[in-house]
Amino acid sequence: MNRLQNLFKNKTNSLLSIYFTAGYPELDSTVAIAEALEKSGADFLEIGFPYSDPVADGPTIQHSSEIALENGMTLHVLFEQLKDLRKTVSIPILLMGYVNPIVQYGVENFCKKAAEVGVDGVIVPDLPMYEYEALYSKYFIDNDLSNIFLVTPQTTEDRIRKIDELSNSFIYLLSSSSITGGSLDVSSGIEDYYKRIKAMQLKNPMIIGFGISNKTNFDKACEYANGAIVGSAFVKLLKDEDYLNKIPAFIKSIKS
Amino acid sequence: MKYGVNDLGYYGDFGGAYIPEMLYPNVEELRQQYLTIIEDPAFKAEFDDLMKNYVGRPSPLYHAKRYSEKYGANIFFKREDLNHTGSHKINNAIGQILLAKRLGKHRIIAETGAGQHGVATATVCALMGIECIIYMGEIDMQRQAPNVSRMKMLGAKVIPATSGSKTLKDATNEALRDWIANPVDTHYIIGSVVGPYPYPDMVARFQSIISSETKKQLLEKTGNELPQYVMACVGGGSNAMGMFYHFLDDEDVKLVAVEAAGKGVDSGHSAATTFLGREGVLHGSRTILMQTDDGQVIEPYSISAGLDYPGIGPQHAYLYKINRAKYVSITDDEALQAGLLCSQLEGIIPAIETAHALAYLEKMQFKKDDNVVICISGRGDKDLDTYIKYFGF
């Protein structure tokens, strides 16, 4: 059982996950940010590795990816940075990024290396379900890595059931069909969507992401799911020169 | 079809649909319906009627006598430049707008590089009375200004892509982001044989009218529907795939695809994907793309905005890998000289994209009786500024 599965076993509500891009704002900020987030009370982390063409991301994360690449971030550099991670950070860690850098690194090598540095799961939005199942799931399973699938309001029930079957830690529920950094849709349609999924009684917990930026929509998301993910709103905070010292107040503002 | 797509959307190792879940419902809807729709007799009748009466097809297969004399073979030009809107792009745009109507979509988005696909899409949207949004790299908007004006005149909204390198790949990213945010009412008319399955196959089918006509025309003109050589330029590869399509299974026909070498394949300013690229994933399909060791997409360079793309369609990647077609490249200088030559020998000013294919004639060794078909994919009006600057007219 990896740290992620363990977390969901022990805590089932109001889980807060924070996304940030590795190598942003500075190449070496990755581990310091992770440590500060753990100390401030984040329940788990998503560390993004940058890609030149991030089609699922809005301007904030596009920008952080661009800067991270300019700073020299690569998967090799990231794994080097994370090699002593588990000495100081104990909460579950996911890596999030696009499929091409992983394919170039080698999917099997990527999974081995991720497990070696203590990563618990991976989110790859553009890795299709068929290719995951047929070609790559064995590497994930051998290395005790959870692969996280996304679900949108347009995902059909059959497909959600299939995703539930292939998942072993949580399902990433998108608040709407959108790129990252939008605002939470609280129209009546979205309530129906959450209720519909809740009524499916899936075996995996659910975490809501995309458009979660403050306490109000974090609390709203937690009414329907086991927790929520804050990404762009946190990445914006990192623009501040004194970002490390501002992290505790940011987490407190969402989770108090 | 031996070189066609399999049930999973692959050509050998290439293709597939590497897309985030947000795009899945749209792409899956297309996958389930595209063949049923385009093989429906009523669809075919409407498509054929527009091709004939609106686009002006069949496009002529012109026996270029002075070119034939110069290169020592029978050179035929397949005149896609004479289509309405000035290039082969209209074939696909007509096909996809009819498809979008049948899918009940009432908003169209598209990406464009040189602007030819943008103009074709704006044209068919005007024809059908459908809202049209075109994404175009900010830099491309400057170098292809006449086409931007054309799109606006046709009623389209042109949105500059300001992310990344501000060219075709970024326009494609922006169009995909738009589609993610508009999952129900919008159809994305991809302009080349790229993108997630079923796009590469669907666009190839709409463009295949180029080679189906060519076969008939060759039979009339030469007594044989098969030539020795078929040549075309390749950016993403839609005119080449249309030109190759019905010749793929005729193994004796040699297929030549001409990429843009830019300032030279080794200059660091090139778009010669098969020379400089490796296998990976770009814009939803597994293909060959120009990238760093770390898997970051490298910004290509070509004087021709239509060939300035870091990947090629997955079917091209497959034809390259199994050697069914030969992939070569031509520099900016060679292409511009060929554009001038074609203007002055045949009275046809070709698009700079097309001029790449023409330039490779210099490097071919023909026998006297060889029949050679070259796709004149577009006309050069949009490129006059570039030609004028280069030659100092």
Kindly report, residue by residue over A53-107, the tens digit of the pLDDT.
999 999 999 999 999 999 999 999 999 999 999 999 999 999 999 999 999 999 9
What CATH number did the domain enclosing A50 receive? 3.20.20.70
- Collect all residues of chain A within an 8 Å Cβ-Cβ radius of residue B293: 104
Query: What backbone torsions phi and psi does residue B159 show, to the nearest 5 degrees?
Result: -110, 120
3-state secondary structure A155-166: CCHHHHHHHHHH
For residue B353, give how far its alpha carbon lies from the nearest alpha carbon of chain A (Å).
25
B20–A55 C-beta distance less than 8 A: yes
The band of A184, judged by pLDDT with boundaries at 50, 70 and 90, is confident
Which of B6, B10, B13, B21 is the mutation pick for testing A, counting most A CBs within 10 A?
A: B21
**Residues B78 and B138 grouped into a single domain:** no
Better-scored residue on pLDDT, A195 or B91 = B91
Domain range for B253 = 56-87+208-391
Distance CA B30, CA B103 (A): 8
Q: Classify residue B258: in a domain, yes or no.
A: yes
| pLDDT at residue A188 is higher than 70 | no
Q: Could you give the C-alpha distances from B220 to A66, B214, B216, B226, in angstroms and in order?
A: 56, 10, 6, 11
Q: What is the pLDDT along chain B (393 residues), one digit of tens a residue?
A: 889 999 999 999 999 999 999 999 999 999 999 999 999 999 999 999 999 999 999 999 999 999 999 999 999 999 999 999 999 999 999 999 999 999 999 999 999 988 999 999 999 999 999 999 999 999 889 888 889 999 999 999 999 999 888 888 899 999 999 999 998 899 999 999 999 999 999 999 999 999 999 999 999 999 999 999 999 999 999 999 999 999 999 999 999 999 999 999 999 999 999 999 999 999 999 999 999 999 999 999 999 988 999 999 999 999 999 999 999 999 999 999 999 999 999 999 999 999 999 999 999 999 999 999 999 999 999 899 999 999 998
Adjacent-strand bridge partners of B14 = B11
Could you please report the per-residue DSSP string of B34-68?
A: HHHHHTSHHHHHHHHHHIIIII-PSPPEEE-HHHH
- Collect all residues of chain B within an 8 Å Cβ-Cβ radius of residue A178: 22, 180-181
Q: Classify residue B237: in a domain, yes or no.
A: yes
**Residues B329 and B227 grouped into a single domain:** yes
Nearest CB to B281 within list A103, A150, A159: A103
Distance CA B112, CA B133 (A): 11
Q: Could you give the C-alpha distances from B23 to A151, A183, B9, in angstroms and in order?
A: 11, 19, 16
B25–A53 C-beta distance less than 8 A: no
- For β-strands B61-63 and B74-79, DSSP reports them as antiparallel
Final residue of a structural domain among B141, B171, B203: B203
Final residue of a structural domain among B168, B203, B238: B203
Rg (CA), chain A: 17
Two structure tokens written together for B14 = 């290439």
Distance CA B17, CA A217 (A): 33
Final residue of a structural domain among B203, B225, B260: B203
Sheet of A171-174: strand order equals A146-148, A121-123, A93-96, A44-48, A15-21, A227-230, A206-209, A171-174, A150-151
A155–B24 C-beta distance less than 8 A: yes
Nearest CB to B296 within list A69, A76, A151: A69
Q: Classify residue B2: in a domain, yes or no.
A: no
B102 Cβ contact partners less than 8 Å away, ≥ 6 residues apart: B33, B37, B43
| pLDDT at residue A166 is higher than 80 | yes
Tell whether B19 is within 8 A of chain A (Cβ).
yes
B69 is catalytic: no
The band of A178, judged by pLDDT with boundaries at 50, 70 and 90, is confident
Could you please report the per-residue DSSP string of B267-293?
A: TT----HHHH-EEEEETTEEEEE-B-T
Distance CA B49, CA A120 (A): 58
For residue A40, give how far its alpha carbon lies from the nearest alpha carbon of chain B (Å).
31
- Collect all residues of chain B within an 8 Å Cβ-Cβ radius of residue A101: 294-296
Q: Classify residue B5: in a domain, yes or no.
A: no
Q: Classify residue B1: in a domain, yes or no.
A: no
Nearest CB to B297 within list A52, A150, A178: A52
- Collect all residues of chain B within an 8 Å Cβ-Cβ radius of residue A56: 20, 22, 177, 180
Q: How many CB atoms lie within 10 A of CB B105?
A: 22
H/E stretch holding A222 reads: helix A215-224
| Dihedral (Cα; B202, A151, B284, A68), 10-degree rounding | 160
Nearest CB to B21 within list A100, A131, A152: A152
CA neighbor of A170 nearest in space, from A184, A141, A150: A150
B184–A155 C-beta distance less than 8 A: no
Nearest CB to A52 within list B24, B293, B296: B296
B294–A179 C-beta distance less than 8 A: no
**Residues B220 and B316 grouped into a single domain:** yes
Nearest CB to B20 within list A75, A126, A159: A126
- Collect all residues of chain B within an 8 Å Cβ-Cβ radius of residue A102: 295
Distance CA B28, CA B290 (A): 28
Tell whether B20 is within 8 A of chain A (Cβ).
yes
For residue A187, give how far its alpha carbon lies from the nearest alpha carbon of chain B (Å).
16
Q: Could you give the C-alpha distances from B9 to B27, B134, B388, in angstroms and in order?
A: 12, 27, 44
Tell whether B294 is within 8 A of chain A (Cβ).
yes
**Residues B253 and B374 grouped into a single domain:** yes
Could you please report the per-residue DSSP string of B125-160?
A: HHHHT-EEEEEEEHHHHHHTHHHHHHHHHTT-EEEE
> What is the pLDDT at residue A180?
87
**Residues B250 and B324 grouped into a single domain:** yes
| pLDDT at residue A186 is higher than 70 | no
CA neighbor of B234 nearest in space, from B157, B345, B348, B311: B311
Query: Per this entry, what is the length of chain A?
Result: 256
A100–B295 C-beta distance less than 8 A: yes
Per-residue pLDDT tens for A125-154? Answer: 999 999 999 999 999 999 999 999 999 999
B181–A177 C-beta distance less than 8 A: yes
Distance CA B297, CA B292 (A): 7
**Residues B163 and B291 grouped into a single domain:** no
Tell whether B323 is within 8 A of chain A (Cβ).
no
Give the DSSP letter of residue B192: S
* A 99-138 near B (Cβ less than 8 A): 99-105, 125-128, 130-131
**Residues B45 and B75 grouped into a single domain:** no
Instruction: Please state the domain count of chain A.
Output: 1
Adjacent-strand bridge partners of A46 = A19, A94
Tell whether B29 is within 8 A of chain A (Cβ).
no
Question: CA torsion sign, B207 to B241 to B64 to B144?
Answer: positive
**Residues B226 and B345 grouped into a single domain:** yes
Q: Classify residue B10: in a domain, yes or no.
A: no
**Residues B182 and B325 grouped into a single domain:** no
* B 150-169 near A (Cβ less than 8 A): 163-164, 169
> What is the pLDDT at residue A202?
96
- Exactly one of B59, B80, B87, B89 is catalytic; name it: B89
Domain range for A172 = 3-255
Nearest CB to B294 within list A74, A125, A179: A74
Distance CA B31, CA A105 (A): 30
> What is the pLDDT at residue B256?
98
> What is the pLDDT at residue A203?
96
What CATH number did the domain enclosing B171 receive? 3.40.50.1100
**Residues B217 and B335 grouped into a single domain:** yes
Q: Classify residue B328: in a domain, yes or no.
A: yes
Q: Classify residue B99: in a domain, yes or no.
A: yes
> What is the pLDDT at residue A181?
84
Contact present, B30 and B195 (Cβ < 8 Å) = no
CA neighbor of B102 nearest in space, from B206, B193, B187, B17: B187
B111 is catalytic: yes
Contact present, B86 and B354 (Cβ < 8 Å) = no
> What is the pLDDT at residue A28?
97
**Residues B97 and B159 grouped into a single domain:** yes
User: In chain B, whose CA is at the least distance from the CA of A125?
Assistant: B20
Per-residue pLDDT tens for B288-301? Answer: 999 999 999 999 99
B295–A104 C-beta distance less than 8 A: yes
Instruction: Please state the domain count of chain B.
Output: 2
Per-residue pLDDT tens for A202-250? Answer: 999 999 998 899 999 999 999 999 999 999 999 999 999 999 999 999 9
**Residues B156 and B231 grouped into a single domain:** no
B149 is catalytic: no
Contact present, B117 and B89 (Cβ < 8 Å) = yes
Query: What backbone torsions phi and psi does residue A237 show, to the nearest 5 degrees?
Result: -60, -30
A56–B293 C-beta distance less than 8 A: no
Window from A3-7, A192-196, B149-153, B297-301 with minimum mean pLDDT: A192-196
